[in-house]
Chain A
């Protein structure tokens, strides 16, 4: 009985405690509005923001596969739920049967802000610039070519299913792209979207009012074709204490390998996209299995000199060698430009070219170039004459200085038989060799990550320079 009384008292006290606490602690509303009203407001606000960009938005679009670069789609949203799109890539060119993969294609369709997985931007009628990446069909790559169209007269034995050799056959899956996007965040100039199916985050940026769309794509396509080259090996970036090697850059899908990682197993592949101001990876690089999450990076911007600087980290893309060393790589040959240059060296070059033209034995110079003669194991300056198309080399040496300079030594006394006989018939060539050897040249370029064109400038007189192009 005693136990029972104790229990009753305890329960009564507990009940009162609960009752009192529930009365005294009225919680303030966390939100002013109901969830549905807030959702509705978010949709209205987002739509207003989308429509407010008078020249539209730049969407950096990625599909969910590891072999396809990102594509920019420009979008101008109208209040009536129509949207004008423009894009320029090989897949879209195919769709429009254009043989020019850089042609800018345009199409209008509909969009809507809907309540779904939060406020969602959906493009709910078909647009060839966007929805082809979400279809379950195989898309032929490599631009439109009537020869490559699958089955114009039946498949070929060589390639019965896909559009071109090496093309990925995606039948049944497609490219795994999205056409519905959750709005993650927004500012006046940038909206962060997340693909509803792929969960890939994509950036949308307001375009400048005076940005011409065709000019935009001309710039992006030029950057995509010229920023990187397959000929200079891996690039590197140093982030913190980590050396990262970047390869396959011209494919649009970057392979990133950290110094200590295994090249076969631990290379990370990330698609990226070009915009006029830089490149951006589909997702931040965080190392293999997130080992390097402390140095995560995603975005690079172009500097005025054409180099790329990382936005999130202090790092820049760089070649593994200086431009002077690249000039001296034994696998490269460099044509001297006959039309570019200035100062004494250009005068002597012009004279040499004119003298070769005037010499009936040669009838002019086809090329004059620097190369490495593997037989003689010497650097050389080589002439190729128009009449016989034959070659003649004069040998020399290079010395690399500090700060990307090079000192050449071409005496004219050393060469193959064609080389020395041409020197005796065209004495101005000797003057040019003397000038080349007398000056220390600083080697620079306009395209720092793909230096297929080098400028050699006199270190003591910047008005004297000549230009070489990679053969």
Chain B
């Protein structure tokens, strides 16, 4: 049996020897792959932009700013489209100004982003919509190498609030992921709200309610690592007024009503109430105070709720909408003033209050100065949202300092300073004035 095995081996070796008898031609010294030309084409309509991108991203950070969308680098489950050239150019200069330059400035050189920054920024025009949940992806950081930024066709350089919410927050969020995937953050962070993460239904939560639990946004309440990235990003990009509002919301309790019918009725009956439910898909209404309109209401514990929380494109504010419900939270008989089966009374909803000062002034002038006693909605979630938020920010601050030697407050101050002073025309001049004589 042993020989049989050797014999077989011998025969196969012989076969091998014969088949290899014809000699191979020399391999072509030239690679079959034609590389993209290193030299940019001056006749191209995008020459100045490409040159600016090369100098500011590729040469500086060894990173590509890919604005001509590569569908192979996207998830085919989504219907995505490229960004327009104009929007890509605007985003390119804004990203440099509000992200790359800020980190360079804080860390003292471009080495930090050269080492830890993504190697590809992929610019996508549309959002990645999940039709079954209605959620949209604004950004993706994959393996620390590629960051995809979506909805770039909606970019409006004049609208600082939206720029923050949709683009710069996303950049800082995705970069936080890259950083914590490189050096992990303390596990204590995950424990603060460990019992309150809802990975599948976070999108059904109201921003006011999640603040009250200790999250900076509903998305943060999905899972701990998103919470971490959201805490970093929101702390960095929210203006002092916006951050104060976040903390103010965190201190409240929220009364929630889940009813699409209200939206429907408001749309048809009272178009003037539109800002109260500007988000057409809003399914929940949250309020943080109530009062009694009169003694009869008080006797029946029929409450008029005020302080309606609204989130529009990730910008938070309160409206002056008032709704009156009985103690069961519904109404069963029909009087003339009822506009639907749920609410006895509705009023207002057309004014927006975006800062704590505006809110407190409105509460004082409209209610307390007139002798109306306001009751805060009881905070029943068992969490001190303010304390949780402060604890999270403290961990983030300490981690940025110990892991990266970055003072996040210094970073935040510089981002805020730059955000408040964006002049897109000045920034775009960098592209127009790029030195075309230099290689």
Residues of A within 8 A of B (CB): 4, 7-8, 11-12, 14-16, 18-20, 22-23, 26, 34-37, 40, 80-82, 109-110, 112, 116, 122-127, 131, 134-137, 151, 153-158, 160-161, 171-174, 176, 179-180, 196-197
Find chain B residues with CB under 8 A from A116 CB. 71-72
Select which of A7, A34, A131, A171 is within 8 A of B82 by beta carbon: A131
| Shortest Cβ gap from A185 to chain B (Å) | 22
Mark B57-85 against chain A: 1 for CB-CB distance below 8 A, else 0. 00000000001111110001011111111
Find chain B residues with CB under 8 A from A40 CB. 34
Query: Residue on A with the closest CB to B270?
Result: A154
A-B pairs, top 6 by smallest CB distance, nearest first, are A157-B268, A172-B131, A19-B18, A154-B274, A22-B19, A36-B32
Select which of B17, B71, B128, B271 is within 8 A of A136 by beta carbon: B128
Asked whether, in the complex, the Cβ of A23 is within 8 Å of the Cβ of B19, the reply is: yes
Find chain B residues with CB under 8 A from A20 CB. 18
| Shortest Cβ gap from B389 to chain A (Å) | 33
- Given A34-B32, A80-B43, the answer on whether A160 and B153 have CB atoms closer than 8 Å is no
Cβ-based interface call for B125 (8 A): yes
Cβ-based interface call for B191 (8 A): no
Of B17, B83, B126, B132, most buried by chain A (CB within 10 Å of CB) is B126
- Given A19-B14, A125-B85, A136-B128, the answer on whether A174 and B79 have CB atoms closer than 8 Å is yes
Asked whether, in the complex, the Cβ of A173 is within 8 Å of the Cβ of B131, the reply is: yes
Q: How many A-B residue pairs have CB under 8 A?
A: 142
Asked whether, in the complex, the Cβ of B19 is within 8 Å of the Cβ of A80, the reply is: no
Cβ-based interface call for B11 (8 A): yes
| Shortest Cβ gap from B127 to chain A (Å) | 7
Asked whether, in the complex, the Cβ of A154 is within 8 Å of the Cβ of B46, the reply is: no
Asked whether, in the complex, the Cβ of B82 is within 8 Å of the Cβ of A126, the reply is: yes
Cβ-based interface call for B129 (8 A): yes
Asked whether, in the complex, the Cβ of A136 is within 8 Å of the Cβ of B21, the reply is: no
Select which of B3, B17, B45, B264 is within 8 A of A157 by beta carbon: B264
Find chain A residues with CB under 8 A from B263 CB. 160
Asked whether, in the complex, the Cβ of A154 is within 8 Å of the Cβ of B278, the reply is: yes
Find chain A residues with CB under 8 A from B28 CB. 34
Select which of A22, A109, A125, A176 is within 8 A of B18 by beta carbon: A22
Cβ-based interface call for B195 (8 A): no
Find chain A residues with CB under 8 A from B67 CB. 125
Indicate the size class of the contact surface on chain B.
35 or more
Select which of A80, A109, A135, A158 is within 8 A of B85 by beta carbon: A109
- Given A110-B85, A151-B280, the answer on whether A160 and B12 have CB atoms closer than 8 Å is no
Query: Residue on B with the closest CB to A173?
Result: B131
Query: Residue on B with the closest CB to A158?
Result: B268
Cβ-based interface call for B378 (8 A): no
Give me 22 A-to-B residue pairs in the complex whose CB atoms sit less than 8 angstroms apart, sorted by A's number: A7-B7, A15-B11, A19-B14, A22-B15, A36-B34, A80-B41, A110-B46, A110-B68, A124-B68, A126-B81, A126-B83, A131-B82, A131-B125, A135-B79, A136-B80, A154-B271, A157-B268, A172-B129, A172-B131, A174-B79, A176-B79, A197-B76
Find chain B residues with CB under 8 A from A197 CB. 76
Task: Give A112 to B70 CA distance when docked, in angstroms.
Answer: 11
Query: Residue on A with the closest CB to B28?
Result: A34
Mark B75-107 against chain A: 1 for CB-CB distance below 8 A, else 0. 010111111110110000000000000000000
| Shortest Cβ gap from A111 to chain B (Å) | 9
| Shortest Cβ gap from A363 to chain B (Å) | 50
| Shortest Cβ gap from B41 to chain A (Å) | 7
Asked whether, in the complex, the Cβ of B44 is within 8 Å of the Cβ of A80, the reply is: yes
Asked whether, in the complex, the Cβ of A171 is within 8 Å of the Cβ of B43, the reply is: no
Cβ-based interface call for B108 (8 A): no
Asked whether, in the complex, the Cβ of A155 is within 8 Å of the Cβ of B267, the reply is: yes
| Shortest Cβ gap from A285 to chain B (Å) | 27
Task: Give A7 to B15 CA distance when docked, in angstroms.
Answer: 17
| Shortest Cβ gap from A189 to chain B (Å) | 27
Find chain B residues with CB under 8 A from A12 CB. 11, 14
CB proximity to A under 8 Å, residues B250-290: 263-264, 267-269, 271, 274, 278, 280
Asked whether, in the complex, the Cβ of A156 is within 8 Å of the Cβ of B267, the reply is: yes
Residues of B within 8 A of A (CB): 3-4, 7-8, 11-12, 14-15, 17-19, 21-22, 28, 32-34, 41, 43-46, 67-72, 76, 78-85, 87-88, 125-132, 134, 153, 263-264, 267-269, 271, 274, 278, 280
Asked whether, in the complex, the Cβ of A11 is within 8 Å of the Cβ of B81, the reply is: no
Asked whether, in the complex, the Cβ of B126 is within 8 Å of the Cβ of A136, the reply is: yes
Asked whether, in the complex, the Cβ of B11 is within 8 Å of the Cβ of A80, the reply is: no
Asked whether, in the complex, the Cβ of A82 is within 8 Å of the Cβ of B45, the reply is: yes
Find chain A residues with CB under 8 A from B280 CB. 151, 155, 160-161
Task: Give A11 to B347 CA distance when docked, in angstroms.
Answer: 96
Task: Give A124 to B72 CA distance when docked, in angstroms.
Answer: 12
Asked whether, in the complex, the Cβ of B134 is within 8 Å of the Cβ of A172, the reply is: yes
| Shortest Cβ gap from A175 to chain B (Å) | 9
| Shortest Cβ gap from B44 to chain A (Å) | 5
Task: Give A424 to B228 CA distance when docked, in angstroms.
Answer: 96
Find chain A residues with CB under 8 A from B19 CB. 18-19, 22-23
Query: Residue on A with the closest CB to B14?
Result: A15
Find chain A residues with CB under 8 A from B274 CB. 153-154
Asked whether, in the complex, the Cβ of B22 is within 8 Å of the Cβ of A23, the reply is: yes
Asked whether, in the complex, the Cβ of A81 is within 8 Å of the Cβ of B82, the reply is: no
Find chain A residues with CB under 8 A from B132 CB. 172
Query: Residue on B with the closest CB to A35?
Result: B32
Task: Give A387 to B44 CA distance when docked, in angstroms.
Answer: 71
Beyond known contacts A15-B12, A154-B274: 15 more, CB 8 A cutoff: A11-B11, A15-B11, A15-B15, A19-B14, A19-B15, A40-B34, A80-B44, A82-B45, A122-B71, A124-B70, A125-B69, A125-B88, A131-B82, A136-B78, A172-B132
Select which of A126, A151, A155 is within 8 A of B125 by beta carbon: A126
Of A16, A36, A110, most buried by chain B (CB within 10 Å of CB) is A110
Asked whether, in the complex, the Cβ of A126 is within 8 Å of the Cβ of B153, the reply is: yes
Asked whether, in the complex, the Cβ of A19 is within 8 Å of the Cβ of B17, the reply is: yes
Task: Give A125 to B88 CA distance when docked, in angstroms.
Answer: 9
Find chain B residues with CB under 8 A from A7 CB. 4, 7
Task: Give A180 to B74 CA distance when docked, in angstroms.
Answer: 13
Find chain B residues with CB under 8 A from A156 CB. 267-268, 271
Task: Give A171 to B88 CA distance when docked, in angstroms.
Answer: 24
Task: Give A173 to B7 CA distance when docked, in angstroms.
Answer: 65
Find chain B residues with CB under 8 A from A80 CB. 41, 43-45
Task: Give A179 to B125 CA distance when docked, in angstroms.
Answer: 13
| Shortest Cβ gap from B70 to chain A (Å) | 7
Select which of B21, B81, B84, B131 is within 8 A of A179 by beta carbon: B81
- Given A126-B84, A156-B268, A157-B268, the answer on whether A136 and B15 have CB atoms closer than 8 Å is no
Find chain A residues with CB under 8 A from B278 CB. 154
Asked whether, in the complex, the Cβ of B82 is within 8 Å of the Cβ of A179, the reply is: yes
Task: Give A108 to B206 CA distance when docked, in angstroms.
Answer: 42
Asked whether, in the complex, the Cβ of A125 is within 8 Å of the Cβ of B84, the reply is: yes
Asked whether, in the complex, the Cβ of A124 is within 8 Å of the Cβ of B4, the reply is: no
Query: Residue on A with the closest CB to B268?
Result: A157
Find chain A residues with CB under 8 A from B269 CB. 157
Find chain A residues with CB under 8 A from B271 CB. 153-154, 156
| Shortest Cβ gap from B64 to chain A (Å) | 14
Task: Give A14 to B134 CA distance when docked, in angstroms.
Answer: 66
Asked whether, in the complex, the Cβ of A135 is within 8 Å of the Cβ of B22, the reply is: no
Query: Residue on B with the closest CB to A18?
Result: B15
Task: Give A122 to B71 CA distance when docked, in angstroms.
Answer: 9
- Given A19-B19, A80-B44, the answer on whether A124 and B78 have CB atoms closer than 8 Å is no
Find chain B residues with CB under 8 A from A131 CB. 81-82, 125
Find chain A residues with CB under 8 A from B128 CB. 136
Task: Give A110 to B126 CA distance when docked, in angstroms.
Answer: 17
Of A112, A124, A173, most buried by chain B (CB within 10 Å of CB) is A124
Asked whether, in the complex, the Cβ of A124 is within 8 Å of the Cβ of B82, the reply is: yes
Task: Give A22 to B18 CA distance when docked, in angstroms.
Answer: 7
Task: Give A116 to B263 CA distance when docked, in angstroms.
Answer: 47
Find chain B residues with CB under 8 A from A125 CB. 67-69, 82-85, 88
